[in-house]
């Protein structure tokens, strides 16, 4: 489970960083992709879809990393999302006959690597689930009506003091209690 959490947290960090980059520097991030932002609507689109969507995914991965039962679905989502982006890039290259720019090639390699890591982590979580932690019972409490008793040095706490033998329980009988 540690490896799965590490994968989820690393992906959340990368996605949150890219989200901030698209929010704060939309023109530079668009130029890395070979795009030119001409209108304020295109800048807003860049911030919303590239920045906002990645931030949402990062927050989901952080949420999922906090509980073991959420790790497997999050890893599957990460694996499917990254694989879909890789396939989209490859289909786009095939249809457009284009060449990969440096940022596109790095992005493609990163997404392949991220999908593979998510797949390995998903497989490990499925194969070797963590044992359930041992339940620790809460300490017994005093009744509200009892006044707290101060502890004196040398006293044995009530949980460690020997208990007097309790009288044997009487069987329950129906009928007149005087019998």
Q: pLDDT tens for residues 5-53?
A: 999 999 999 999 999 999 999 888 888 877 888 888 988 988 888 899 9
Secondary structure of 91-150 in HEC code, one letter for each residue: HHHHHHCCCCCHHHHHHHHHHHHHHHHHHHHHHHHHHCCCCCCCCCCCCCCCCCCCCCCC
DSSP type of residue 67 = -
Highest mean pLDDT out of 45-49, 56-60, 163-167: 56-60
Residue that has been written with the tokens 């947290």 in this structure: 9
Instruction: Give the start-to-end residue ranges of the domains of the chain.
Output: 1-124
pLDDT of res. 179: 55
Q: Which of 59-68, 87-96, 126-135, 154-163 has the lowest mean pLDDT?
A: 154-163
Query: Which tokens is 30 given?
Result: 């668009």
The Cα 28–Cα 155 span in angstroms is 72
23 close to 17: Cβ distance less than 8 angstroms: no
Nearest to 104 by CA among 31, 16, 20, 7: 31
How does pLDDT run across 68-80, given as a tens digit for each residue? Answer: 888 889 999 999 9
* 139-167 b/e (C-beta count within 10 Å ≥ 16 → b): eeeeeeeeeeeeeeeeeeeeeeeeeeeee
């Amino acid at each position: 489970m540690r490896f799965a959490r590490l994968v989820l947290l690393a992906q959340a960090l990368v996605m949150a960083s890219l989200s901030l980059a698209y929010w704060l520097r939309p023109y530079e991030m668009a130029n890395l992709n070979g795009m030119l932002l001409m209108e304020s609507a295109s800048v807003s689109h860049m911030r919303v879809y590239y920045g906002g969507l990645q931030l949402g995914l990062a927050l989901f991965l952080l949420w999922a990393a906090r509980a073991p039962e959420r790790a497997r679905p999050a890893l599957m989502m990460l694996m499917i999302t990254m694989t879909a982006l890789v396939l989209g890039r490859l289909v786009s290259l095939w249809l457009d006959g284009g060449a990969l720019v440096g940022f596109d090639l790095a992005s493609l390699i990163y997404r392949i690597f991220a999908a593979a890591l998510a797949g390995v982590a998903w497989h490990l979580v499925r194969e070797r689930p963590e044992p359930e932690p041992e339940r620790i019972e809460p300490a017994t409490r005093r009744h509200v009506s009892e006044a707290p008793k101060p502890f004196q040095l040398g006293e044995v706490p009530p949980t460690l003091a020997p208990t007097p033998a309790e009288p044997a329980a009487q069987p329950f009988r129906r009928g007149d209690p005087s019998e």
